[in-house]
Structure 1
């Protein structure tokens, strides 16, 4: 019976949504950071393609 009351509670769903949103945001920020570090290490592929076309 207590689980039913928790599932009906709007605070529970709001907190669950907030936690899921924060986790997704953190994952997205980590992905962006990984992309930036890759570009710093290997350079931007678009710039390299433009350089080879000019030659």
Structure 2
């Protein structure tokens, strides 16, 4: 198939946009999971320090 003919087809653009959107969504979900695990890890540390009286978790 000729490249110029391929670029004129709507199916090609729809498939390309769909692939880019899916990759972006996957990257966003991975980033959100990383943020959640980071918050969970350091929330636990703050709670342990708060029980010892070293730090206040509300600060």
TM-score by length of 2: 0.73
1:14-53 aligned within 5 A: 14-43=14-43, 48=57, 50=58, 52=59
Q: 1:43 is paired with a residue of what secondary structure?
A: helix
1:43 Cα deviation (Å)? 1.3
The number of equivalent residue pairs is 49
Higher helix share: 1
TM-score by length of 1: 0.78
Bigger Rg, structure 1 or 2: 2
CA RMSD of aligned residues (A): 2.3
Where do 4+ consecutive residues of structure 1 move more than 3 Å?
none
* Unmatched runs of 5 consecutive residues or more in structure 1: none
1:38 Cα deviation (Å)? 0.2
* Unmatched runs of 5 consecutive residues or more in structure 2: 47-55
